[in-house]
Amino acid sequence: MVRSSQLLHPVRTPAALRPAATVLLLRDSVDPANPGVEVLMTRRSMTASFAPGAYVFPGGGIDAADAQSHGQSTRRATQSDLHLTQAIAAIRESFEELGILLARRADGSHLGTAQIAALDRQAPFAAQCAAQGLTLAGAEVFVLAHWITDRDLPRRFDVPFLVARMPEGQEPVADETEQFEPVWVRPADALARHAAGGFFIIFPTVRTLERLQAYETVDDVLKACAVNDEPLFTSCPRAGLLNGHESRHMEHDGPFGELALVSPHGQIVHELAWQTGRPVPLLKNVQRLTAPNPGFMTGPGTNSYLVGDPVSGHIAIDPGPDIPEHIERLWRAAGGDIRAIVCTHSHPDHSPGAARLQALCAEKPPILGLPSAPTSRENSRFTPERALADGERLVLQGQDGATHTLQVVHTPGHAANHLCLLLEEDGLLFSGDHILNGSTTVIDPPDGHMGDYLDSLDKLDRLCEAHGVDFILPAHGYVLGDLKRTADNPSAPEHGGARAAIAHLKAHRLAREAKVARAMQHQPEGTMDDWVKLAYDDVPERLWPVAKRSLLAHVERLQSLGGFNL
């Protein structure tokens, strides 16, 4: 866990969560020219305390009476008490706000719009339904998603986004107090109108509509939600700045882990736009400076890191390519006080800048790492001044008695001489090219080896478990990970973001290997060109030449396991 003394921003307590529920009332389009699912949305009052003027789905807070009305509702066998209470709250809110009543008479029919209009939307809901002989249709309301309001907002809600089919014979009639202008709209059209500036919707609504547009019919939506009777996704977004403008992100988005590291308590202060002209502070003792070498293989550029403080001096990780202006900026960011230079591996976008950086430093810090193996390519040759040992620790003594300890972890796979570094006191893993954000690293035999790569992933997983690592700092892309699950961080994975990232990456690699095996079985006399078309059919064809490198690594591993003889 990151030490609070190293956080850039003061600890603050987010606003308490309030339980609520909202429902997406759905119908199939009756327009043959525009088929698909339509959803009912309304505009909130401009004086509303939350999302004024936004187009939303009906919903609101959960009342104590909602939990007491289970006996008046139908219920699925797999529907939990919590989900039933949420469904009843959504049914009540739909009635109060839009005059839609998800309830049935004894014969299974719904009330019509005129009959609903005779009811009092302000009177106790359950009692009115009982008086009309109605049974609430809780079993017909399913959980689509679970949203927890962002940590930066003064009013926060813990709210399921439920789905239900719109009852036949009913028309929405807004209460004209909280909700106005009910409109049926296809998700894609709502998103297009929002992008054009004429249909304001907030972030959770945007992302929910993006998921909803993948379904062709209401039946498809309800069937997908009924499979496990649990949310299809859960999110508590995080926000930063992108070129000075607010930018929100879900857990699977690239910047999410970085925002969790830099602003764990929700302050919207961190700039996410990639920049090469200045260092980006991630903690008080960690800075990142991205080299100006963006490209197909390097993404936004190679990340160079500085670990340490003004008292301890700094250890530079991956000085990157030999670009003079980048090396000088790295030296200046350290105040000229660099105690060691560590290269995670010998590839030309990682190690060549080491000599120039060393030359700028008055004390000539040692260049450390592992020497390239004989299997390395000519442009990837590297010989450190001192070879690091697996498990070795590099220790800096910092201000106020703080230490910054980097443990060396040998992780062959991407390259035979690849290593990662663990900042023990703060639970940070500097992963070099072994783990990237936004892509999978290329395994290029003979220096790359798929079996070694997967074994190294397991090694890193054990290390992360032992040291409580939450975050991975890759050589390309944003920080990966999240804080462990807590009451204030309920959407985080149980084992913390670092281990979840490793598990996801390993599962992806093994799934790809299974596709490679199927391709080889389908065309046992095929070539690499034949197999790449089948095993990487979900990858753009322009990437196949690079994909063939990792394909070869998978083929070699499958052969070593005894599955194939070519």
**Would you list the DSSP string of 216-254?**
SSHHHHHHHHHTTSS-SEEE--EEEEETTEEEEE-TTST
Cβ within 8 Å of residue 443, ≥6 positions away: 413, 414, 449, 450, 453, 549, 550, 553
Q: Which of 190, 168, 214, 248 is nearest to 57 (CA)?
A: 190
Cα gap 1→3, rounded to integer Å: 6
For 17-235, give the CATH class: alpha beta
- Write the DSSP assignment of 252-292 as a string of letters: TSTTHHHHHHH-TT--S--B-S--SSS-EEEETTEEEEE-S
**What pLDDT is attached to residue 528?**
95
180: left (phi > 0), else alpha (psi -120 to 50), else beta?
beta
**What pLDDT is attached to residue 438?**
87
* Contact predicate 137/146, CB 8 Å: no
- For every one of its 566 residues, what pLDDT tens digit does the chain have, with 9 covering 90 and above? 899 999 999 988 899 999 999 999 999 998 888 889 999 999 988 877 777 889 999 999 999 999 999 999 999 999 999 999 999 999 999 999 999 999 999 999 999 999 999 999 989 999 999 999 999 999 999 999 999 999 999 999 999 999 999 999 999 998 888 788 899 999 999 999 999 998 999 999 999 999 999 999 999 999 999 999 999 999 999 999 999 999 999 999 999 999 999 999 999 999 999 999 999 999 999 999 999 999 988 999 999 999 999 999 999 999 999 999 999 999 999 999 999 999 999 999 999 999 999 999 999 999 999 999 999 887 788 999 999 999 999 999 988 889 999 999 999 999 999 999 999 999 999 999 999 998 899 999 999 999 999 999 999 999 999 999 999 999 999 999 987 666 666 766 666 679 999 999 999 999 999 999 999 999 999 999 999 999 999 999 999 999 999 999 999 999 998 866 55
**What pLDDT is attached to residue 563?**
61
Question: What CA–CA distances, in Å, run from 341 to 33, 276, 298, 395, 434?
Answer: 63, 20, 21, 13, 19
**What pLDDT is attached to residue 249?**
96
Q: Is the pTM of this model over 0.85?
A: yes
Cβ within 8 Å of residue 68, ≥6 positions away: 126
Cα gap 340→380, rounded to integer Å: 21
* Contact predicate 475/302, CB 8 Å: yes
Cα gap 29→35, rounded to integer Å: 5
The three-class DSSP label of residue 555 is: helix
Per-domain residue ranges for the chain?
Answer: 17-235, 274-489
Within 299-449, where are the H helices?
Answer: 324-333, 354-360
* Contact predicate 138/164, CB 8 Å: no
Strand 17-28 with 59-61, pairing: antiparallel
CATH topology of domain 274-489: Metallo-beta-lactamase; Chain A (3.60.15)
**What pLDDT is attached to residue 21?**
97
CA 79 to chain centre: 28
